[in-house]
Amino acid sequence: MKKLFYLMVVIAVLGLIVSGCSIPLKSVVPTSEKGNPKPELGAPTLEKITFIHYAKPNDRSQPVWDETVDKYKLLPGGLKWAATMKYWVNSTESNLDEGDVMDTISASLKTWNDAIAETLPSFELFATPEPDNEASYNKYIDYSNTVTWGELPWVNAIAMCAFWFDPATKEILESDVVFSTGFVWSTGDTCSDDEMDLQSIATHEFGHNGLNDLYSSPSMALTMYGYGDSGDIEKRTLGTGDISGIQELYGSP
């Protein structure tokens, strides 16, 4: 009877040890993509949000809306970065010139930085991106912000933006963007109807570092409108709502 009692105590203690330990994230979250990515006890549980940007031609019968619509939607709880972040870009599967890709990505990031600088010149959200042909998307957190190309499993998905955050502090900790290799991409001054304009789509994806998608008809001209369209270069620049949203998050001390 004593042996049975001691065995039960040992099992209970082991159970407490296992439940209190941080297991590597890949062991913790194969399905929910939630877990503790740090080895220290008591490290916060992090969460992940993934945005899928779908292709959907604009309904030409709709009224033509302009960029002065002042609508925006922040991420849940006002999630944002606490400091300047940097992207590492792997363009090897894009079928584009690496230099053209880097110039285009830099232009998209600068668009958001310039909007923030109008009200808070001392803060820069995005650092200058750098090329990295080894960069790859990892569904688990690795604290590396990447821009890559690859096959996406969703029909008509142009791009994906996934980021990890701490729900307690509302701080974004990692942001990854994947552009679909199922589309032909363009970095030119113009874009044909059978190509996706990289600068327009990238500007939308980078806006998710604080802003949510918009789906109402009046928002169709805004960069954060939830659907993309081939040949569209209008989303390279920000509309009134896009600027208002990013400035509310990052445009004050």
pLDDT value at residue 57: 72
Find the mean pLDDT for residues 54-66: 69
pLDDT value at residue 63: 54
Q: Report the distance separating Cα 196 and Cα 124, nearest Å.
A: 28
Q: What's the one-letter identity of residue 162?
A: A
Q: Residues 46-250: name the CATH superfamily.
A: Collagenase (Catalytic Domain) (3.40.390.10)
Sort 246 into a burial class: Cβ within 10 Å, 0-12 / 13-18 / 19+: buried
Token pair in block for residue 126 = 């995005």
Name the pLDDT band for 252 (thresholds 50, 70, 90): confident
pLDDT value at residue 10: 34
Name the pLDDT band for 217 (thresholds 50, 70, 90): confident
Find the mean pLDDT for residues 141-163: 97
Find the mean pLDDT for residues 238-250: 98
**pLDDT surpasses 80 at 177:** yes
Contact 238, 146 (CB under 8 A): no
Q: Report the distance separating Cα 183 and Cα 125, nearest Å.
A: 29
**pLDDT surpasses 70 at 41:** no
Contact 166, 48 (CB under 8 A): no
Q: What percent of the chain has a predicted confidence (pLDDT) above 90? A: 75
Instruction: Kindly list the distances between the CA atom of residue 178 and the CA atoms of 5, 39, 63, 217, in Å, as whole numbers in the listed order.
Output: 55, 28, 32, 26
pLDDT value at residue 16: 28
Q: Which residue has the higher pLDDT, 156 or 12?
A: 156
Domain ranges for the chain:
1-37, 46-250
Longest Cα–Cα distance in the chain:
82
Token pair in block for residue 211 = 């802003």
pLDDT value at residue 58: 64
Find the mean pLDDT for residues 24-42: 37
The whole-model pTM stands at 0.83
Round the average pLDDT of the chain to a whole number and report it: 85
**pLDDT surpasses 80 at 64:** no
**pLDDT surpasses 50 at 98:** yes
Find the mean pLDDT for residues 137-159: 97
pLDDT value at residue 7: 38
